[in-house]
Amino acid sequence: MRRLLAALLLLASFALPALAVQPDEVLGDPVLESRARAISAELRCMVCQNQSIDDSDAPLARDLRLIVRERLKAGDSDRQVMDFMVARYGEFVLLRPVMSWRNALLWAAPVLVLVLGALAAFFGLKRRRAVAPQRLSADEEARFKKLLAEGEGAPPESR
């Protein structure tokens, strides 16, 4: 039982988030450090792409965290640090990009695809309903009934 409990505790420790910020990166001023952590949580790691630089342990993420801390120690505001990073790496560095005319199509694409799909389904169903099923002519109906009657009299193996 103790081994099972020890194994479960070991597995649970792997489920905890990894702390990527190294002790030598941490600023002495707790206010500046909390600002640095907040900014780092908003910046994308270029290597991991869906992790913030605060969560990533990639070497590039470490370099970006150090740049953020250097800029804060130099007296930059949070906005100035973010603007510096965007100027240097582009809007891709932001985990939550801002809405602008340059990326409006990316923001609108899901809605456009949904609307176009709904329109295609609507007009497809409308066209399908417009095509009425064709009735058999009198000759075709008589021939069909004759074939049915012949099929009913045939032995089961030939059906």
| pLDDT, tens only, 74-128 | 888 888 988 898 888 888 888 887 777 777 777 788 899 999 999 999 988 888 7
- pLDDT at position 153 is 62
| Predicted confidence (pLDDT) at residue 49 exceeds the cutoff of 60 | yes
- pLDDT at position 64 is 87
Helices (H) and strands (E) in the chain, counts: 6, 0
Q: Which of 83, 64, 51, 80 is nearest to 25 (CA)?
A: 64
Q: Which residue has the higher pLDDT, 112 or 26?
A: 112
Q: Which of 85, 55, 53 is nearest to 71 (CA)?
A: 85
